[in-house]
Amino acid sequence: MPIKDKPRPPRFSLFNNILLILAGVFLFVSFILPVFSRPQVPGVPYSLFIHQVQEGDVARVQVGQNQIRFQLKSDEEMGGEQVGQVFSTTPIFDLGLPNLLEEKGVEFAATPPPKNGWVSNALGWIIPPLIFVGIFQFFVRRGGGGGAQGMLSIGKSKAKVYVEGESAKTTFADVAGVDEAKAELVEVVDFLKTPGRYTQIGARIPKGVLLVGPPGTGKTLLAKAVAGEAGVPFFSISGSEFVEMFVGVGSSRVRDLFEQAKKEAPCIVFIDELDAIGKSRSSSGFYGGNDEREQTLNQLLSEMDGFAAEDATVIVLAATNRPEILDPALLRPGRFDRQVLVDRPALSGREAILKIHAQTVKLGEDVDLNAIATRTPGFAGADLANLVNEAALLAARNQRESVAQADFAEAIERVVAGLEKKSRVLNDKEKKIVAYHEVGHAIVGSLMPGSGRVEKISIVSRGMSALGYTLQLPTEDRFLSDETELRGQIATLLGGRSAEEVVFNSITTGASNDLQRATDLAEQMVTTFGMSKILGPLAYEQGSRAMFLNEGVPNPRRMMSEATAEAIDREVKDIVETAHQQALDTLNHNRDILETITMQLLETEALEGKPLHQLLEQVQAAPAI
């Protein structure tokens, strides 16, 4: 969105032009004019000079640091009437030259210092300071854009001011999938446009609105939509722009920002990445700190607390994806007293977002946006925008005039699993191991409750290290999982390793990532979800704020006894081993189907769609022992 145009000063003022003219005169008088006014003297080799001295032809010599000038004896001195000619030569290190000149009776002296005229002396005292002043003004104007901004006003706010009535502005119509957040912000915009409707019944609009959500969910886009809808001045700045290397700059910029906002009220101030300056002051490792970031935060708290009645229409809008690390003073009533969750969109929201981004590309007749939205659970708005762009790039690469459903399917795989690595060629033994591994995941996953539907099995390498992959996509949005479903997820993760044991009676390094994920999930079941009958409904993992205070420690546990830690380890091991045995039993019971699917996979390198579903429908659960 365009920024308000401000008048720029002329690039060169009259003063600068005068400085340039005087500098040119100074250079001409000091360096160029003496060169032209100096008489030209022919030069000769130093050896010829010494020879003429020894022959007694030299009358007088002027010895300088860079040049020796000598005059030959005149005809008058030699008995004639012609004046002696002057020559020059380049001196060399010769300590015997004075003795030689004295011996031959040659008059010699040092070259006299050059005589500068009064004009050159005056310019030498006046021009250098003027040039320094001109250079200083140039950097001041360049550093701050001229006017009041510059090196001497580094504490001024760098906020960008958005104005109403510009073309290509973002509105709420460009935002989808976050209807609740839009409703909250529509109320803020409405208050700025018609404050009387709220104040007449005693309502008070919040001073600060904090947009909270994962990265890519559209927090900044919502802020731009507010700028497009509000019709009032909109100041936008990032939290990192407050703090620089100079002490006191951050707090000075905060003061200047709010001074500008109060002059333009009613208006909106948007601070992106608030956690850059709003991090909890108790997390610095010591109390009573006086660092630059803390002073900036203190100034922000003071400014938000200092709104008078006439400043009520200055609303502060901020965004962060790390609300757990913000200072509690920021979140109390009277400051950021309203938090708006901007979460990942549900199925209907994803479809609406796809429709918005699909307006800029040519879609084929077979494209089903609802099916694409169904296959992309957990995707944020930025992920969906990237998905549409990837599909368009694939269509253009394949010389198609429109984007087909197959392009979207391939784009989803690229985003989820990574790019294909066809250059990574496996030998026959490795290809066979990978095939059984992936089919093991698919067979176990097809029976587990609450797991997604197996859509594709491939032994084509993708991403950084995946030699093959099994693509499972949920058929609906899920927000809760019970203990049985979590145990089923662990069994599915161990299905690949279990297939290697069943077929080859050995294991490989290919299951390392599966083991890591299975162990982490089992540990969460015990320490976070309280799904252990022995340990009971207790949380042994530290909360998010405690995790922040112990940065660098992955999943830190609370202080506990050795007996409790051993009990946790035993429970985690028991959950993983039970799931491992469940996967082994399932694969042994369906050994024929395991072989059938693997043979087909080795022939085609990928199985998906209806043929794969028909094969997996034959899988049966192992009888309970």
Give the span between the Cα atoms of 67 and 110, in whole angstroms.
Answer: 10
Based on the number of CB atoms within 10 Å of its own CB, is 239 exposed (0-12), middle (13-18) or buried (19 or more)?
A: buried
φ, ψ (nearest 5 deg) of residue 236: -120, 130
Q: Which of 260, 289, 233 is nearest to 155 (CA)?
A: 260
Q: Which of 292, 413, 438, 571 is catalytic?
A: 438
Structure tokens at 161: 């001011």
In order of 165, 167, 315, 522, the CA distances from 170 in angstroms are 11, 9, 19, 45
Give the span between the Cα atoms of 288 and 277, in whole angstroms.
Answer: 17
Give the span between the Cα atoms of 375 and 475, in whole angstroms.
Answer: 8
Give the span between the Cα atoms of 86 and 88, in whole angstroms.
Answer: 7
Give the span between the Cα atoms of 532 and 569, in whole angstroms.
Answer: 12
Annotation marks residue 420 as catalytic? no
Based on the number of CB atoms within 10 Å of its own CB, is 125 exposed (0-12), middle (13-18) or buried (19 or more)?
A: exposed
Tell me if 207 sits within 8 A of 334, measured CB to CB: yes
Q: Which of 233, 221, 220 is nearest to 161 (CA)?
A: 233
Give the span between the Cα atoms of 123 and 131, in whole angstroms.
Answer: 11
Give the span between the Cα atoms of 98 and 139, in whole angstroms.
Answer: 54
Q: What residues are annotated to the active site?
A: 438
